[in-house]
Amino acid sequence: MITRDEVLHVARLARLELTDDEVERFREQLNAILEAVGKVSELDLADVEPTAHPLDLVNTWREDEPRPSLSVDEALSNAPDREGDFFRVPAA
């Protein structure tokens, strides 16, 4: 069972500031979901290789040719805040 403290810990890792109400709701729902997905542990798979990707592709290359890229102004055009040629954020 996931505890309230674990929910808060995971929320911190995921950079999510949850309200008290969300913490309790997600605790209940995550417990129900984890119980259902925990079924994967029923199988003994010690000798099975994991699949990360459905196609057997290894090292796909393309020529390393320069192509046009975004201008500084374009790259900043969707930023919530900027200062000159930089993204602006609150104090780190």
Partner 1 sequence: MDTLRLTAEEAARLLDRGEASSEELHAAYRAAIDERDPELHAFLRTVDEVEGGGVPIAFKDLISTRGVETTAASKILAGYKPLFDATVATRCRDAGLPLLGKTNMDEFAMGSSTENSGFGPTRNPWDPERVPGGSSGGSTAAVAAGFAPWALGSDTGGSIKQPAALCGVVGLRPTYGTVSRYGIVAFASSLDQIGPITKTVRDCALLYRTIAGRDPCDSTTVELPQPVELPEADDLRGLKIGVPKELNEAEGIEPGVTEQVNKSLDLARELGAELEECSLPRSVDFGLPCYYLIAPSEASSNLARYDAVRYGHRAEGAADVREMYARTRDEGFGDEPKRRIMLGTYALSAGFYEAFYGQAQKVRTLIKQEHDALFERFDLLVSPTSPTVAFALGARTDNPLAMYLSDVLTIPSNMAGMPGLSVPCGLSEGLPVGLQLIGPQFSENTLFRAGHALEQALGFDFVPERLR
- 10 neighbors 29 (Cβ within 8 angstroms): no
DSSP string, 54-68: SS-------------
52 binds partner 1 (CB under 8 A): yes
**Which residues in the 14-43 window bind partner 1 by CB under 8 A?**
14-19, 22, 26, 29-30, 32-34, 36-41, 43
Alpha-carbon distance 20 to 36, whole Å? 25
5 binds partner 1 (CB under 8 A): no
What φ, ψ does residue 40 adopt, rounded to 5°?
Answer: -60, -25
* Identity at 63, one-letter amino acid code: E
70 binds partner 1 (CB under 8 A): yes
Q: Which of 1, 13, 64, 84 binds partner 1 (CB under 8 A)?
A: 13
Which residue carries 């798979």 as its tokens? 45
Interface ranges with partner 1 (CB under 8 A): 2, 6-7, 10-11, 13-19, 22, 26, 29-30, 32-34, 36-41, 43, 45, 48-55, 57, 60, 62, 70, 74-75, 77-81, 87, 89-92
